[in-house]
Structure 1
Amino acid sequence: MVRSTVVVVAIQLLAVTSTVTAIEAMFEGFNKCEPNGILECRLRVRKINRTTAALFGTIDLKVEMSDHIETAIEAFHSPLGNNQFNKYPMKIGPVGMCQFVAVYWADYYSYMARYIENLLEPGVCPIGARLISFNDMILDGKMLPQVVPTGLWKLLWRGRDTNNPEVAFELEFVAKIYVDGFL
């Protein structure tokens, strides 16, 4: 009886540990940058070897950003990876830029700091005008929750000046999320 219980527990433990897998992330594209007085983008995704894509280029912040810039991030998911995106019930905002930096930025700063020059440090606000250079930024799967579904993901980051609604920006990133080892 004890032996069969040990076997059952071992099988259950094996089943639980085999379902915990690491995920990886890779840029697929930087599709949109619609500046209107706040920032200008010269970003692109390029292959740095046969299997890895990276984000390269610059973002030129034209104005100082504080809570008068309201920002929001929406997520869209394509489970089959065929660019048929569905809006995902995960989003940030709309919040002021200082609140965004205070609440969310510290979680991702360490993953980006080694690739980006002149990057804003967590907790600093207002954000001064600056040129931000991306030097072959590679997405790290550790920055994402392990429960994120695989497939293509599109993140749409919007911002607008609450004092002048005509001044706005919109950025669109596409990334592939996959189980480690299965591209």
Structure 2
Amino acid sequence: MFYERCVDNQEIVLLQNNDTIERDGWLYKINLFTSHNTFCTMARFVLVLILVHFTYYQQTHGIHVLFDRFEQSVGQDIMLMDLRVRKYNRTMTTLNGTVYLYQEASDDFQFQLDIFYSRLGNQQFNHVPVKLPSAGTCSFLDNLHATYPQHMKLIGNVPERGKCPITPRHIIALDIEFPNDVVPKNMVRPGLYKAVIRGYHGRREIMNYAFVLKAIDN
């Protein structure tokens, strides 16, 4: 049995004999027990999805993950994310730019994540069929602070832990490298991963943006 714990009351269990998602002879069972104030960080969302989707493949060592690009299609009137990816050197890309938060944000804004994978890197993405619970804005940021404090310190004017609602501000990203120390490199396949984040206020979609990550042999 493979076991990955996300937070105190969330877990994903991989079994060979259970009636859930079947992939090439493996059956995947997902147990998500989410309390009001406990959420995985978005980074953990991405990693758990990658683990569930690719654990049954032959392990590949030496994988390096890079930012490939950033896209925003909805919500520029609420939060304009003027972010871009640039080539920092021969082996690394970085995320740069400014996030302009124009309105106060709280857990009334709920965000959900969908992951897509392109094996050939040709923009033909396939959806990873795993559903995870949504996260409120404040809870999401608090968990980022708790789990990845060393990475949060690199972002300028980021809301401090425990602050809610989050007041309008400019948040600055300057040469932020993708945190490869959180990636299970022996579980990730080369190709493109697209993380699409959608924000909702009630049932209305108010935000839509995506990070595209490139996994390459190091």
- For residue 149 of structure 1, report the CA deviation from its aligned partner: 3.0
Report if the CA contact (8 A) 1:112-1:137 is conserved.
no
Give 2:209's aligned residue.
Answer: 171
SS in structure 1 of the partner of residue 196 of structure 2:
strand
The structure that is helix-richer by fraction is: 1
Query: Over aligned residues, Cα RMSD in angstroms?
Result: 2.4
The unaligned stretches of length 5 or more in structure 1 are 1-18
- The alignment status of 1:29 with 2:69, answered yes or no, reads yes
Give 1:133's aligned residue.
Answer: 172
Which letter does structure 1 place at the counterpart of 2:158? L
Structure ranking higher on relative contact order (CA contacts 8 Å, 6+ apart): 1
Give 1:101's aligned residue.
Answer: 141
Where in structure 2 are the equivalents of 1:10-159 lying within 5 Å? 21-90=61-130, 92-103=132-143, 106-114=146-154, 116-146=155-185, 147-159=187-199
Report if the CA contact (8 A) 1:72-1:91 is conserved.
no
Give the whole-Å Cα distance in 2 for the aligned partners of 1:42 and 1:178. 26
Give the whole-Å Cα distance in 2 for the aligned partners of 1:100 and 1:59. 16
Q: 1:158 to 1:178 in 2, by over 3 A?
A: same
Report if the CA contact (8 A) 2:138-2:164 is conserved.
yes
How many residue pairs get matched? 159
Which letter does structure 2 place at the counterpart of 1:127? I
TM-score (norm 1): 0.74
Q: 1:23 to 1:50 in 2, by over 3 A?
A: closer
Q: 1:126 to 1:82 in 2, by over 3 A?
A: same
